[in-house]
Structure 1
Amino acid sequence: MEFFEQVFLGNPLREWGIALLWAIGGVVVGKLLYRWFSRRMRKLAGKTETQLDDLIVDQVEEPLALAVILLGFWFGYDHLHFGENIDQFMEHVFSIAVAIDITWMAARLLDSLLGSLMTRTGEQSDSAMMSQMAPILRKTLRSTVWVLGVIMAMNNAGYDVGALLAGVGIGGLAMGLAAKDFVANIFGGITVFVDKPFLVGDRVQLDGVDGIVTEVGIRSTRIKTLAGRIVTIPNHKFTESIVENVTAEPARKIRLDLGMTYDTTPERIEEAIGILTEIIEKHVGTENDTIIWFSGFGDFSLNVSAIYYVRKEADVSLTPGAINLEVLRRFNEAKLEFAFPTQTLIHQGEVGANSAAE
């Protein structure tokens, strides 16, 4: 037994052997725990209807196995002594390793749960923006968890993190000021996603831009104007300006003005109003809320006006076109004449007198 009492690096070989057994035992138990989670716990989780337990088992098995291995190494090192300074340093190392392992498990869990939640939300909302926001939100969450974990690890190891946080705060303020517009666009994109003032495919009007929304991104939105051009608008514009969603209107208001000749009698005006009322109210693309009246005396015509509304599901161009064509056909059949700009010139004096003067 004298062999085990021999000293190597300040510790008896017996203590080295015990430390080695603790380390090997930790590795073996860690692997057994990992296999047990992989086989038994996954089978139990697979029998349930919810996917939450499957995600938890899948994400915690590796950090738990690492925690058991670290625990074995810690108990093993507890049998060895290399001086106060080295022992204190190793204690800090193990504290940092445990904090990092806990952070790793928390980051994996939160990232997996958030990814599953956003996947289901994206499938339900069918929004292209969700697929763009999901990676950014997941990376932001992971980064936040790791930063907090590193700070916790350094604090547990005895380091003064106050000065570090002060420096990070000043640097963060400078970066925030430099990236002000970028951050504003990010929050503008989140506002568009949450508030949903419009969707892809809607026609919107904003600051003189009128077109169809083709893509909603995390930083900007693309709109195809009525002229066929693509306009890219930063998302913060949607929180600072008035956005008019043309597609969301319940119906499109249309005003129709007709000018009849001045020799049209009151009875014929009433007939024109009746024909116009019949055409508009019988069309399948219009609502019942229609106003038609004799609107006044123009410079060269007697005016008949109509206000009607095109249904949301009807075409806002073809419906008025069909009504106008039917008005032209019916008015021609009824011999109702449309007025056009005319001028009557009245000359005073006699032609003969003017000729004699010449």
Structure 2
Amino acid sequence: MSNASAGNAAAPIFDADALTGQTQGLVTASIAWFHTHWLQILIAVAIGATIVIALHSARRFAGRLAARDPDGRAGWFSIIGRALVRTNNFFILMLSIKLVVGYAGAPDQIGTTVNFLWTIASVFQAAIWVREIVLGAIEHRTQAQNYQGEALLSAMGLIRLLVTFALFAIALVVVLDNLGVNVTGLVAGLGVGGIAIGLAAQGIFADLFAALAIIFDRPFRRGDKVQYDQTLGVIEGIGLKSTRIRSFGGEIRIISNRQLLDKEIQNISNRDHIRVTLTIGVAYETPPDTLERVPQMLREVFEEAGGTVARASFESFGASSLDFVVQFDVPGDDWPTAHATRDKAMVGVIRRFAAEKISIPYPTQTTYTAAPDGTLVMPYAQVQPVQIDRSLAS
């Protein structure tokens, strides 16, 4: 082994002598600075104390603002107030020192130390503020939309963990970068680790982000009546991974949030009317003058039943009838009420057509067969005249 290699191997990782020398230099510079600038230092301390008191007063005011609305329902003022309450004393102290250290003419050693501590305090305090605002916004949205339950608490716990980890990881990288540390390897390691975790739990994260999309985009909420594919029911719960729907048949259908958002969802809770379409046929033997009056008849019958007629018109020439189409609206979103209105109107149509001598035909078909000699066989029995025995009659 060479002497150079031996020297490198023997070099200590942590140089205690260098640290002791820097500390002694800082103390010496501070003593000399105090002797020469004692008046400026006292004034700076007074100004700094005033700034600290003002910042503490502002934090207490933010605490009172947040206390008026502990659940965050009032909006952004309450959310910002809850974030400002999390301002720590170390940040307040470093902010006041940073504002007055230049006035006191501090030496370079003290200025460098203040900048170092200020960087740490400001970056991590910013991370805390951003975390509280993000989480407060999510909680405000979930509470405003009445999303509740154990699943939501679990989702918020996981969201809080992910947001906290991401923001403080970014804050650590920013602090190290400002201190002159090469963070390229650290950033690469965090990126690889994040990719590995994302690939391992991509299904869970996909459903989690879909749940957040439901919360923020609000396609539906608990209690809404929705329809997708062949499922029609009421939303009973929106969980971390899946949504539970109570179908009108009584069973609970469970579908993952990601798959649910990939479908076309019809939210039928807030519609103001139900439109029903009926096709009604009349016989071809109906006189043309009567046919002209049929749309008006249908309109009158359906309006008397409680519907609002959107269209009543001659639609087409059917195989066995002349077809008329009626589209009518029933106020509200209650299907039983719409069905009752439809039934009442259909009975009214039968009564009105009976009064007008209009027949409603039904499809009929007559089948003819042939005998071996080619003659047609009638589909009905040939009726023979009845012979009366006169002798029996007498």
Q: Compute the TM-score of the two structures, normalised by the length of structure 2.
A: 0.57
Q: Which residue of structure 2 lines up, in the alignment, with residue 255 of structure 1?
A: 277
Is 1:323 the counterpart of 2:350? The answer is no
Pair 1:190–1:113, CA change in 2 (3 A):
closer
Aligned to 2:89, which of 48, 62, 67? Answer: 62
Which deviations, in whole Å up to 9, do the C-alpha atoms of 1:174-216 show, x marking residues without a partner?
Answer: 2222222223223333444444444444443334333333333
CA positional deviation for 1:278: 0.6
CA distance in 2, matches of 1:330, 1:153: 85
Cα pair 1:310 1:319 within 8 Å, conserved: no
Which deviations, in whole Å up to 9, do the C-alpha atoms of 1:146-176 show, x marking residues without a partner?
Answer: 1123334555677654333333322222222
**Amino acid in structure 2 at the alignment position of 1:308:** Q
Cα pair 2:302 2:308 within 8 Å, conserved: yes
CA distance in 2, matches of 1:267, 1:233: 56
Pair 1:151–1:118, CA change in 2 (3 A):
same
**Amino acid in structure 1 at the alignment position of 2:324:** S
Is 1:186 the counterpart of 2:213? The answer is no
Please list, as runs of the form range in 1=range in 2, the aligned pairs for 1:317-356 lying within 5 A after superposition.
Answer: 317-332=339-354, 336-340=358-362, 346-347=378-379
Aligned to 1:292, which of 308, 313, 319? Answer: 313
Q: Secondary structure at the match of 1:227?
A: coil
Q: Secondary structure at the match of 1:236?
A: helix
Q: Which residue of structure 2 lines up, in the alignment, with residue 109 of structure 1?
A: 129
Please list, as runs of the form range in 1=range in 2, the aligned pairs for 1:88-103 lying within 5 A after superposition.
Answer: 101-103=121-123
Cα pair 1:286 1:310 within 8 Å, conserved: yes
CA distance in 1, matches of 2:306, 2:122: 66
CA distance in 1, matches of 2:192, 2:207: 23
Aligned to 2:192, which of 166, 170, 173? Answer: 170
Q: Secondary structure at the match of 2:249?
A: coil
CA distance in 2, matches of 1:48, 1:190: 27
Give unpaired runs (5+ residues) of structure 2: 1-19, 32-45, 67-76, 99-111, 368-377, 385-394
CA distance in 2, matches of 1:53, 1:275: 64
**Amino acid in structure 2 at the alignment position of 1:290:** R
Please list, as runs of the form range in 1=range in 2, the aligned pairs for 1:121-140 lying within 5 A after superposition.
Answer: 121-122=141-142, 126=145, 128=147, 137-140=159-162
Pair 1:39–1:176, CA change in 2 (3 A):
closer
Pair 1:246–1:266, CA change in 2 (3 A):
same
**Amino acid in structure 1 at the alignment position of 2:131:** D
Is 1:307 the counterpart of 2:334? The answer is no
Pair 1:219–1:154, CA change in 2 (3 A):
same
Backbone CA RMSD of aligned residues: 5.0
Pair 1:66–1:147, CA change in 2 (3 A):
farther
Aligned residues: 306
CA distance in 2, matches of 1:151, 1:212: 47
Identity across matched positions, percent: 22
Is 1:204 the counterpart of 2:252? The answer is no
Cα pair 2:284 2:322 within 8 Å, conserved: no
Pair 1:147–1:46, CA change in 2 (3 A):
closer
Q: Secondary structure at the match of 2:203?
A: helix
Give unpaired runs (5+ residues) of structure 1: 1-8, 20-28, 72-90, 353-358
CA positional deviation for 1:306: 2.3
Q: Which residue of structure 2 lines up, in the alignment, with residue 223 of structure 1?
A: 245
Q: Secondary structure at the match of 2:86?
A: helix
Q: Secondary structure at the match of 2:87?
A: helix
Pair 1:290–1:340, CA change in 2 (3 A):
same
Q: Compute the TM-score of the two structures, normalised by the length of structure 1.
A: 0.62
Pair 1:220–1:35, CA change in 2 (3 A):
same
Pair 1:54–1:178, CA change in 2 (3 A):
closer
CA distance in 1, matches of 2:80, 2:267: 43
Cα pair 1:273 1:304 within 8 Å, conserved: no
Pair 1:37–1:109, CA change in 2 (3 A):
farther
Aligned to 1:277, which of 296, 299, 304? Answer: 299
Question: Larger deviation: 320-329 or 170-179?
Answer: 320-329
Which deviations, in whole Å up to 9, do the C-alpha atoms of 1:274-321 show, x marking residues without a partner?
Answer: 43221124454324x21232743544xx34422213245253333323
Pair 1:58–1:342, CA change in 2 (3 A):
closer
Cα pair 1:103 1:146 within 8 Å, conserved: no
CA distance in 1, matches of 2:283, 2:272: 36
Q: Secondary structure at the match of 1:290?
A: strand
**Amino acid in structure 1 at the alignment position of 2:132:** S
Please list, as runs of the form range in 1=range in 2, the aligned pairs for 1:11-90 lying within 5 A after superposition.
Answer: 36=53, 40-42=57-59, 54-55=81-82, 58-64=85-91
CA positional deviation for 1:235: 2.4
CA positional deviation for 1:342: 5.1
Cα pair 2:211 2:241 within 8 Å, conserved: yes
**Amino acid in structure 1 at the alignment position of 2:232:** D
CA distance in 2, matches of 1:236, 1:341: 48
**Amino acid in structure 2 at the alignment position of 1:291:** A
**Amino acid in structure 2 at the alignment position of 1:327:** V
CA distance in 2, matches of 1:182, 1:47: 39
